[in-house]
Structure 1
Amino acid sequence: MTTNKHLVASLLHTIATHTSDVNSVAFSPDRQLATASGDKTVRLWDTSDFTELSASPLVGHAYYVHCCTFSPFGTTLATCSTDGKLILWDVKSGSKVSTFQHSSKQSIRVCRFSPDSKYIVSGSDDETLALWDVTAKTLVRSYNTCHDASVVACAFTPDSTFIISGSSNGDLRVWDAKYGHGKVLTYTLEGHDLGVTSCDFSPHMKVKDSGVDGCVTYEFATSGHDNLVKIWEMTADLSCTSVVLSHKLTCKGHEGTVNFCCFSSDGNLLASASIDKTVRVWDPYCGQELCVVEGHTRYVTSCAFSSDSRLLASGSNDKLVMIWKITTQEDCIENYKEPQTAPNAKKKDAPRLIESWSAEEVGDWLQQIDLSQYKDTFVSNAIDGTELCNMTDRMLIDLGVAALGHRNKIFRCIKTTQNKPTVSRSVSNLSDNGIPDEYLCPITRELMKDPVMAEDGYTYERSAIQGWIDKGKDTSPMTSIPLKTKQLIPNRSLKMLIQHYLESGK
């Protein structure tokens, strides 16, 4: 089935709770949302009202969390991190079910459950894949003769029979996940010229002559540093476990590295996230671009469809998660409703932007979001809609909004009402403890005392990055790209800024 209708994405909600890059987003079958971040946390959300679940946040990783993924039934969440750990969590209680680790203890970049829920596979900077038994909590096998670079992408076929993996070198390899073979079944060195970033299988399968002698054709998508999304066919002869990969079509449109791609649950849509700050939705049958989703102010790292394909979540280096409602242009016309108006606007009034609100309307708005205790202060200080939109963290404190949670709620509600991502610089650049984010080491998330620059262009605390190198890790902890030199250059300018920050007592 092909959908030729162009789609419309409207911003439904923005989550601004994470204090570092949002690296991964995932929906459960019942539309709960998981978000994983460089702030070492994973958070769980109820998408019916976007409240954070009681089990959230999940805290257990020591470094960046790179990936999160739900089990097929949504009862378990898997996360993996730069700390080299793959953790399985009970979604309801938030407790750890089990923790896995590659023998090398190097960063784990990606993890995926098998569709039958029996296994989970993980890819690491140690250039290997590991297949784990979820119930027995044991390592089934390690695919050691694997890639010659970090494994950054992996996925199971819809029948859980095979695994495909991709590396930062750009190659794709297919492995047996069912019959016990440990060697690679087939590979291509021409996946993506500059490196693969992600892969995902469509749920659609074509079966010819079912049984052990049958032939099955799968469809999967990959993304890469060459700015492309590619769609492939994989044909497997089950009688001899022979597998052939063939390139089907290429989706062109992104203007930068495509960090992630994923199919909708019905296989009729394909989404991709890019450093060009957009998410694009494609028709996977013909490669037609159906929608360009714009809103993030920095690289988009990940995206995910809800189980009914009506919601699309995106995560970004701007620390935000945005949830978009996906509709066709025809549905938008049929179901059109006037935009939200000011709190006291009458039905006959024309729709008004938040910037045009009076101070009294701002006061009523505060009452609507359950912060009525600040209403009189805002009104007496003539905080109208324009002033509200230009509010900073310092201004809110001066107005008597001392509680950090209340200040964050005001900023979140402003963004939701505006229906666009306008985050105050003073808020977006602060960590959860009030320290400017650029002063924190990206590995330890602690204030740096001796900041140094590595070849990847990132600044780290010297002891943290030196410890990383001393463990034999030769790739960037931020990008997984190989570090050609281990030279560390003191970042004296940043050190002076940090010292000034400490001396000023801010």
Structure 2
Amino acid sequence: MSNMVASLLQTLNAHSSDVTSLSFGEKELVTCSGDKTVRLWNIDDFSETPCSPLLSHTYVVNCCVFDKTGTVFASCSTDGRLIIWDSKTGEQKAIFEHPSKCAIRVCRFSPNATIVASGGDDNALCLWDVAKKKLIRTLQGHDESAMALAFSPDNNYIVSGSGNGDIRTWDARFGHGRCLSFELDGHDLGVTCCEFSPSFGTAETHSVSAANLLLASGGKDDCIKIWHFMAEVGSPTVLLKLRDTLPGHTDSILTCCFSPDGTILASGSIDKTIRLWDPLKGEAMFSVEGHSRYVTCCAFSRDGQLLASGSNDKSIMVWKLTNTKMIMAGLKGYEEPASSKTPMSDTQSNTDILNWSVDDVCEWISSLGLEVYKDMFRAQAIDGVELLALNTNDLQSALGIAPLGHRNKILRCRSKLETHPVVSKLDKDVPDEYLCPITREIMADPVIASDGYTYDRSGIKAWMESGKNRSPMTNAVLAHGTLLPNRTLKMLIQRYQMMASQ
């Protein structure tokens, strides 16, 4: 697998806050964000589908995932709701809430798509019957929020990880509520993600008598761990044995996923990189860089040809994975292809646009999800000067763009380029402590709640006025509703914004 190379195919910039999760379906890519939206993209041209965006969540959307059919997906949010959607129509098929009504951090479908599981700030997992739209059981045992979970490929087990670093295994088949295995030192500072290999051992044969599987997990100790997962189905215990520890990332791991054939493991980190690994050999393959902030999520397409990544820089990057005869020895000195440069921002000044080359314009067109027209712009030598002069007739007659919606999108997005002359130099590097934990937006009026955490006043007030009496960060009951101004932080934010505007 050392012959695999990634090149940037597309960048999607519609979200206005951190991209928190993404998943490939049969024909769509679903993404979600701190901006409270869920968006759907056509895989063919990466344009948004007619039903996108979906606006039903009222707080940060933490996770989104397709089921095996690729036409139904789930999203979960800090607003305490898990929603199941039809990706074709945007119709809500079911809405679930934990009995505690806590924030939900993660959700996953069982491989047979009959159950959806969720983990939240009540330290519990809830299993829901998708067809009957009801709670099957609640699994208790974690001491902190459940941040990661995965179903085994045979549907028999669930593995979950929490904020205090433990990994637990549960029976997903016979209905037992007790924990089958408990690995306290999964990741010292907290488990952030876990996934089963879809092709290792009995994952290929779907044995009903025994499980011999491969599990990957990531955490705040900067390491990916590969576990050997062994059990007799129906047995009260499961053996989870550490097989490999994969160092390489220089900061906390936030996401990991296997390719459909199980030959590649991808991971994303606060260090802004995506790393690809050979999970069977326990070896690094190469590192991909493109995001300017944390890589929060990644997912392979169903054919394994594409890898999508999301980040706190508000962008989604779609990478084309290609086999090549060029041997990349550990990929040291790997150079990112020219096509993987980050596209122009939606907020460049007129002066910048006038200096755009034809390649810059083509890159911008691709970033709008209209890559199909890139060659037309190149053939007509449309540079920045010509871009500013285009009208709808030019787009139709000279460039052959027939759909009115596409012509309007180009002109509308060009208008944004013209009307936002100032770019914040620090816009993509906003310190996390300046963002409200609830809204994930820069705080205008930071206040300290009784849990000791700082929130934007409007965010925490709306949280409490909606009837929630527990901390958005710890899930403990808020002792009182008094909000104390955090004047020091407000001063730092104001200073930061002044520097950004200069």
Q: TM (normalized to structure 1)?
A: 0.75
Q: Which residue of 2 aligns with 1:349?
A: none
- Report the 3-state secondary structure (helix = DSSP H, G, I; strand = E; otherwise coil) of the residue aligned with 2:413: helix
Q: Does 1:21 align with 2:26?
A: no
CA 446–204 in structure 1, closer or farther in 2 if over 3 Å, else same: closer
CA 85–288 in structure 1, closer or farther in 2 if over 3 Å, else same: same
- Report the 3-state secondary structure (helix = DSSP H, G, I; strand = E; otherwise coil) of the residue aligned with 2:155: coil
The aligned amino acid for 1:228 is C
Separation of aligned partners in 1, 2:186 and 2:30: 29
Q: Does 1:11 align with 2:29?
A: no
Q: Which runs of 5+ in 1 are unaligned?
A: 341-354, 383-400, 412-422, 431-436, 502-506
Q: Which residue of 2 aligns with 1:273?
A: 268
What CA deviation, in whole Å up to 9, does each residue of 1:326-348 have, x standing for no partner?
Answer: 12341799xxxx978xxxxxxxx
Q: Say which of 153, 157, 180 aligns to 2:152.
A: 157
The aligned amino acid for 1:405 is C
Q: Is the 8 A contact 1:154 1:200 kept in 2?
A: yes
Q: Is the 8 A contact 2:156 2:233 kept in 1?
A: no
Q: Does 1:69 align with 2:65?
A: yes
Q: Which residue of 1 aligns with 2:50?
A: 54
CA 403–164 in structure 1, closer or farther in 2 if over 3 Å, else same: same
Separation of aligned partners in 2, 1:163 and 1:177: 6
Q: Which residue of 1 aligns with 2:423?
A: 425
Range 65-74 or range 439-448, more displaced: 439-448
Q: Is the 8 A contact 1:89 1:97 kept in 2?
A: yes
Separation of aligned partners in 1, 2:143 and 2:76: 21
Q: Which residue of 2 aligns with 1:451?
A: 446
CA 284–407 in structure 1, closer or farther in 2 if over 3 Å, else same: farther
Q: Does 1:111 align with 2:107?
A: yes
Q: Which residue of 2 aligns with 1:123?
A: 119
Q: Which residue of 2 aligns with 1:238?
A: 233
Separation of aligned partners in 1, 2:360 and 2:256: 43
Q: Say which of 290, 304, 322 aligns to 1:295.
A: 290
Separation of aligned partners in 1, 2:131 and 2:461: 37
Q: Is the 8 A contact 1:459 1:491 kept in 2?
A: no
- Report the 3-state secondary structure (helix = DSSP H, G, I; strand = E; otherwise coil) of the residue aligned with 2:221: coil
Q: Does 1:405 align with 2:413?
A: yes
Q: Is the 8 A contact 1:360 1:379 kept in 2?
A: no
- Report the 3-state secondary structure (helix = DSSP H, G, I; strand = E; otherwise coil) of the residue aligned with 1:405: helix
Separation of aligned partners in 2, 1:363 and 1:249: 43
What CA deviation, in whole Å up to 9, does each residue of 1:319-374 have, x standing for no partner?
Answer: 000011112341799xxxx978xxxxxxxxxxxxxx999889589969966999xx
CA 79–156 in structure 1, closer or farther in 2 if over 3 Å, else same: same
Q: Which runs of 5+ in 2 are unaligned?
A: 329-336, 340-351, 366-372, 390-408, 498-502
Q: Is the 8 A contact 2:3 2:326 kept in 1?
A: no
CA 133–428 in structure 1, closer or farther in 2 if over 3 Å, else same: farther
Q: Say which of 184, 191, 194 aligns to 1:196.
A: 191
CA positional deviation for 1:460:
2.6
Q: Which residue of 1 aligns with 2:86?
A: 90
Q: Say which of 8, 16, 36 aligns to 1:40.
A: 36
- Report the 3-state secondary structure (helix = DSSP H, G, I; strand = E; otherwise coil) of the residue aligned with 1:182: coil
The aligned amino acid for 1:273 is G
CA positional deviation for 1:214:
2.8
- Equivalent residues, number: 438
Q: Is the 8 A contact 2:144 2:164 kept in 1?
A: yes
Separation of aligned partners in 2, 1:448 and 1:154: 31
Q: Say which of 141, 149, 153 aligns to 2:137.
A: 141
- Report the 3-state secondary structure (helix = DSSP H, G, I; strand = E; otherwise coil) of the residue aligned with 1:67: strand
What CA deviation, in whole Å up to 9, does each residue of 1:169-221 have, x standing for no partner?
Answer: 0001111111111111111101001110000001125349x999832211110
Cα RMSD after superposing both structures: 4.3
Q: Which residue of 1 aligns with 2:254?
A: 259
CA positional deviation for 1:459:
5.3
Q: Is the 8 A contact 2:356 2:383 kept in 1?
A: no
Separation of aligned partners in 2, 1:447 and 1:330: 47
The aligned amino acid for 1:49 is D
Separation of aligned partners in 1, 2:320 and 2:43: 12
CA 48–455 in structure 1, closer or farther in 2 if over 3 Å, else same: farther
CA positional deviation for 1:97:
0.8
CA 439–152 in structure 1, closer or farther in 2 if over 3 Å, else same: closer
Separation of aligned partners in 1, 2:97 and 2:109: 16
Q: Say which of 244, 250, 274 aligns to 1:249.
A: 244
Q: Say which of 211, 215, 218 aligns to 1:216.
A: 211
Separation of aligned partners in 2, 1:282 and 1:111: 25
What CA deviation, in whole Å up to 9, does each residue of 1:253-279 have, x standing for no partner?
Answer: 000000011111111110000000000
Separation of aligned partners in 1, 2:187 and 2:145: 14
The aligned amino acid for 2:268 is A
Separation of aligned partners in 2, 1:20 and 1:493: 21
CA positional deviation for 1:378:
2.9
- Report the 3-state secondary structure (helix = DSSP H, G, I; strand = E; otherwise coil) of the residue aligned with 1:52: coil
Separation of aligned partners in 1, 2:355 and 2:388: 12
The aligned amino acid for 2:80 is G
CA 165–482 in structure 1, closer or farther in 2 if over 3 Å, else same: farther
Separation of aligned partners in 2, 1:105 and 1:173: 23
Q: How does 1:351-370 map to 2 (within 5 A)?
A: none
Q: Does 1:174 align with 2:169?
A: yes
CA positional deviation for 1:491:
3.5
Separation of aligned partners in 2, 1:312 and 1:409: 29
CA 491–18 in structure 1, closer or farther in 2 if over 3 Å, else same: farther
Range 462-471 or range 310-319, more displaced: 462-471
- Report the 3-state secondary structure (helix = DSSP H, G, I; strand = E; otherwise coil) of the residue aligned with 1:204: coil
CA 247–63 in structure 1, closer or farther in 2 if over 3 Å, else same: same
CA 14–459 in structure 1, closer or farther in 2 if over 3 Å, else same: farther
Separation of aligned partners in 1, 2:414 and 2:453: 33
CA positional deviation for 1:463:
5.1
Q: Which residue of 2 aligns with 1:348?
A: none
What CA deviation, in whole Å up to 9, does each residue of 1:21-71 have, x standing for no partner?
Answer: 00001111x252111100000111112211111121111100000100001
Separation of aligned partners in 2, 1:252 and 1:364: 39
CA positional deviation for 1:402:
12
CA 56–175 in structure 1, closer or farther in 2 if over 3 Å, else same: same
CA 360–200 in structure 1, closer or farther in 2 if over 3 Å, else same: closer
Q: Does 1:378 align with 2:385?
A: yes
